[in-house]
A and B are shown apart, each in its own frame.
Chain A
Amino acid sequence: MVTPEEMQEIDVPAELERPQIITTRELTKSFGGEIAVNAITMDVPEGSTFGFIGPSGSGKTTTVRLLMGLHEPDSGEVSVLGARPSRFTRQDRERIGYLPQLFVLYPDLTIWENMNFAASLYGVPFLRTKRLNELLDLVELREDKHKLVRNTSGGMQRRLSLAATLIHDPDLIFLDEPTAGIDPILRKKFWDYFDVLESRGHTLFVTTQYVGEAAYCDFVGVMSEGRLVTVNTPEGLRREAYGGDIIKLGSTDRIDYEFRSEVQNLSNLNAKILNATDYELQILVADAASATPFLVEHFRDRRKEINLVEQYLPSYDDVFVKLIEKHRGENHE
């Protein structure tokens, strides 16, 4: 759980200073005595893409349902578009788009008919052909609009769902695992669509199990066992997971124990060697940009010829595992 105080301690990016479209404080929900969402506190800035990442069963969908007003929280506070979701007015709902986890449109209707259904559901006036075609263009389904949905692929159905979600041009869009079960190429396309939407001023709240998708988000909330482990930028997550940046330095000369000790004891860097071989070091530093020149200079001073200098970016999978382990360790303590 991230408390408001901790939120302040984290290196909060400037974007978080924008007006908040979603705010929760100690939001809690349980079902039959089992806590699904445990005291979540977070803020989602307007016009951003907020990734909500966590393993299956971590409470992502329950959180989305709380934010959509489908569940009433047991305790805590929640505000979406400045209103309590369970008290949403018709006007509030008209500003929200929701892509459920599963395809919920009608297989016996064509793509076009399903789009019309969604449009009517949100009260989009009858003269809407242009709008529908634009959205079908966005998700590349215009050519297939007269196909029955039952005759389309899972990927096409997912794209149709996304287009239907956007039909009324909502300010805030909840996308519950939009990329689950689809191939990497289509996943990439989806994130391209999301980029377009963000650039048009929409706020996206995207849940996903794919940790790697964190890279596409402005902010990422990491969920584990009903708790929000952290909220940060993708880069911030790496730093948070490892406690700084990692620099990889390689040399054609042998790196002995004495040299490694010298690197670790460079007083102005507070560096830590994470991994070492006879010719290569992985060094954890607070900030790679400022630490790299010092390290290079130290290698040269000791007449070590450098053949590799780069910032090592661990995969988000590793970052995620690290964060979850850290979180579990804290809880265990």
Chain B
Amino acid sequence: MSSFSRFIVRSTTFLRKELATVFRQPRLILTLILGPFLIMLLFGFAFQKEGRSLRTLFVIKEDSPFSQEVEEFAKEIGPAISYQGSISDRDQALHRLARNDVDLVIIVPDNPMEIIQNNQQAVLEMYHNEIDPIQVDYVRQVGRLYVDSLNRKVLRSVTQENQQEAGTLQEKLDAAQASAKAYREALAQRNAAAAATEKDNLSNDLVALRILAGASAGLVEGTNSTFGGGTTSDPNQGSAAVTNLDTLIQGLNSTADPTTTDEMERQEQDAAEMEKSISDLNSQLTEFRNMDPNVITSPFRVEAQSVTGIELELTDFFTPAVIVLLLQHLFVTFAALSIVAERRAGTMELFKTAPISSSEILFGKTLSFFIFGLVVAAMITLLVVFVLGTPMIGRWENYVIAVIVLLLTSLAVGFFISLISETDTQAVQFSMLLLLASIFFSGFFLDLRLMWEPMKAFSYMLPATYGINIMHDVMLRGLPLPVTYIGGLAVIGLIMFLADWIILRRMMQTR
């Protein structure tokens, strides 16, 4: 028999043994495959995309004019805030918060309008009792959402008032436009007396309009800038609209009564321009009045969507990472217990006296656990993709390559643990430590981009870090295999296998 044939025979020693041992434990296989699937299924049911509803208690003075609005607005804002009532006793509210009767206490200032009128921001104090930093962030987000909505509501209310005010202004504009038309027509008829009368009427209308517009300069300016009127370059000069009105009034007042036909003709042209300016202003104001206050106060909104076109559920996001962690942990543990168990049982002594080399042992054990790993990975994948409905956007061959490299690297790490462990307990402890490190440092639930840069080096020593990135890219983004990640994972595996071989070889030598 050739040496290659003998190598194959010796290597398959472990294939039969390990597979027979594992497949003789159907409960173990069932636990390994169905267990993770059921956990992910329950996880999918347990967690919803919507954030939790915060039971919120407001503290507001009993006689505050806002007490009614606070309740209405809290109910309007949506499921993020669950209105639990308003009380005036701040200490009592905080006590209830401390007892976890409520999740959030919002203290409304006694006199917010007075503060705002004094050119200051009114502060809503918000208290929570969260200890989880993620939940603290969530509470802050809800707080910001609440204040933004409140500010928008105030702005909307101001805008609506301005639109009503614009109605009065428009009546004056209509009158001024009519006077300008009458003035122009009198001039066109070369009726000097009528022109003088209409000129006085127009002047009076413009002055009245100027007074009203002066009070609503912001409104007119806003209307002007929003709808193409531009803004004034000199803030001291007031709004462009007011300036235009001033110019018109000045122009009208400085115009002498016409004595000649030529003067009449020139003034008729000026009157036509005046009429047009007033008409333009009127049109702009009409447009402003007809606008939705929501559009004016929130002109922009965001519509975010994934480039893949698939909206992922929370379970979808976590499933690829769970598969990676699971495969890593299972096969690190299997391998970690493997050689240490041989030492405990005394079979290592048998191997030392038999014509089997350390590379044959390593190859044989790797092959057996690898085949078992492929079976487990295939079953779990079929269940999560076709039963749980986790998206698989990428190519299946990339997924298979990723699983193969992940399994082999996990086994190499497991054998390393096995070779440096004295007992089964030690091997299990090392495997658990690796799992714990992987949960915290692989980006499983905390984005690696949030991590302190030097600590990322540690993350990239863990196979799970590479595995999770690869699976996210392949399964959820539909990208090709990320060469750096698959390469990194393979390099870790190769280094570990080399270390395993060296240690096992030393172990097999005569002492």
Contact with A along B480-511 (1 / 0, CB 8 A): 00000000000000000000000000000011
- CB <8 Å contact, B6 and A69: no
Q: How far apart sit A71 and B345, CA to CA, in the bound complex (Å)?
A: 19
Distance to closest chain B CB from A102 (angstroms): 6
Contacts A/B (CB < 8 Å), 14 sampled: A69-B510, A72-B510, A72-B511, A85-B510, A93-B355, A104-B345, A108-B24, A116-B16, A120-B13, A121-B13, A122-B354, A123-B1, A125-B5, A126-B9
- CB <8 Å contact, A86 and B510: yes
Smallest CB gap from A108: residue in B: B21
Decide: A100 near B510, CB < 8 A? Known: A121-B13, A123-B6. no
Q: How far apart sit A86 and B511, CA to CA, in the bound complex (Å)?
A: 9
Distance to closest chain B CB from A109 (angstroms): 6
Q: Say whether B352 faces chain A, with CB atoms less than 8 Å apart.
A: yes
Distance to closest chain A CB from B54 (angstroms): 55
Q: How far apart sit A230 and B362, CA to CA, in the bound complex (Å)?
A: 44
- CB <8 Å contact, A123 and B9: yes
Contact pick for B356, options A68, A86, A121, A124, CB 8 Å:
A121
- CB <8 Å contact, B16 and A104: no
Distance to closest chain B CB from A2 (angstroms): 26
- CB <8 Å contact, A100 and B355: no
Q: How far apart sit A98 and B16, CA to CA, in the bound complex (Å)?
A: 22
Contact pick for A120, options B12, B347, B353, B510, CB 8 Å:
B12
Q: Say whether B20 faces chain A, with CB atoms less than 8 Å apart.
A: yes
Which of chain A's residues have a CB closer than 8 A to the CB of B346? 100, 102, 104
- CB <8 Å contact, A121 and B351: yes
- CB <8 Å contact, A96 and B21: no
Contact pick for A123, options B10, B17, B24, B349, CB 8 Å:
B10
Which of chain A's residues have a CB closer than 8 A to the CB of B20? 108-109, 113
Which of chain A's residues have a CB closer than 8 A to the CB of B379? none
Q: How far apart sit A70 and B346, CA to CA, in the bound complex (Å)?
A: 13
Decide: A104 near B350, CB < 8 A? Known: A93-B355, A94-B355, A120-B9. yes
- CB <8 Å contact, B16 and A117: yes
For the complex, count residues of B whose C-beta is within 8 A of A: 26
- CB <8 Å contact, B353 and A117: no
Q: Say whether A90 faces chain B, with CB atoms less than 8 Å apart.
A: yes
Which of chain A's residues have a CB closer than 8 A to the CB of B345? 104, 106
Q: Say whether A105 faces chain B, with CB atoms less than 8 Å apart.
A: yes
Contacts A71-B511, A72-B511, A106-B347 supplied; 14 other A-B pairs, CB < 8 Å: A69-B352, A69-B353, A69-B510, A70-B352, A70-B510, A90-B355, A93-B354, A93-B355, A104-B347, A104-B350, A120-B12, A120-B13, A120-B16, A124-B9
Contact with B along A99-135 (1 / 0, CB 8 A): 0101011101100010011001111111000000000
- CB <8 Å contact, A68 and B353: yes
Q: How far apart sit A162 and B36, CA to CA, in the bound complex (Å)?
A: 43
For the complex, count residues of A whose C-beta is within 8 A of B: 30
Q: How far apart sit A124 and B1, CA to CA, in the bound complex (Å)?
A: 9
- CB <8 Å contact, B17 and A109: yes
Q: How far apart sit A125 and B12, CA to CA, in the bound complex (Å)?
A: 11
- CB <8 Å contact, A70 and B13: no
Decide: A105 near B347, CB < 8 A? Known: A71-B511, A113-B17, A125-B5. yes
- CB <8 Å contact, B347 and A125: no
Which of chain B's residues have a CB closer than 8 A to the CB of A86? 510
Smallest CB gap from A114: residue in B: B17
Contact pick for B511, options A70, A100, A113, CB 8 Å:
A70
Which of chain B's residues have a CB closer than 8 A to the CB of A94? 355
Which of chain B's residues have a CB closer than 8 A to the CB of A106? 17, 21, 345, 347
Q: How far apart sit A100 and B350, CA to CA, in the bound complex (Å)?
A: 8
Q: How far apart sit A113 and B13, CA to CA, in the bound complex (Å)?
A: 10
Which A residues, 266 to 304, have Cβ-Cβ distances below 8 Å to chain B?
A: none
Decide: A71 near B355, CB < 8 A? Known: A109-B21, A120-B12, A121-B13. no
Smallest CB gap from A103: residue in B: B346
Q: How far apart sit A112 and B348, CA to CA, in the bound complex (Å)?
A: 20
Which of chain A's residues have a CB closer than 8 A to the CB of B347? 104-106
Which of chain A's residues have a CB closer than 8 A to the CB of B510? 69-72, 85-86
Smallest CB gap from A84: residue in B: B510
Q: How far apart sit A31 and B10, CA to CA, in the bound complex (Å)?
A: 33
Smallest CB gap from B351: residue in A: A121
Contact pick for A121, options B1, B349, B350, B511, CB 8 Å:
B350
Smallest CB gap from B350: residue in A: A104
Q: How far apart sit A123 and B352, CA to CA, in the bound complex (Å)?
A: 14
Q: How far apart sit A106 and B17, CA to CA, in the bound complex (Å)?
A: 9
Contact with A along B241-279 (1 / 0, CB 8 A): 000000000000000000000000000000000000000
Contact with B along A181-206 (1 / 0, CB 8 A): 00000000000000000000000000
- CB <8 Å contact, B349 and A100: yes
Which B residues, 1 to 33, have Cβ-Cβ distances below 8 Å to chain A?
A: 1, 5-6, 9-10, 12-13, 16-17, 20-21, 24
Q: How far apart sit A123 and B364, CA to CA, in the bound complex (Å)?
A: 13
Decide: A113 near B355, CB < 8 A? Known: A104-B347, A106-B21, A123-B1. no
Smallest CB gap from A148: residue in B: B24
- CB <8 Å contact, A117 and B13: yes
Distance to closest chain A CB from B316 (angstroms): 39
Smallest CB gap from B341: residue in A: A106
Smallest CB gap from A69: residue in B: B510
Which of chain B's residues have a CB closer than 8 A to the CB of A105? 347
Which A residues, 47 to 95, have Cβ-Cβ distances below 8 Å to chain B?
A: 68-72, 85-86, 90-91, 93-94
- CB <8 Å contact, B353 and A93: yes
Q: How far apart sit A109 and B1, CA to CA, in the bound complex (Å)?
A: 27
The residue in B5, B355, B357, B511 that gathers the most chain A C-beta atoms within 10 A of its C-beta is B355
- CB <8 Å contact, B1 and A113: no
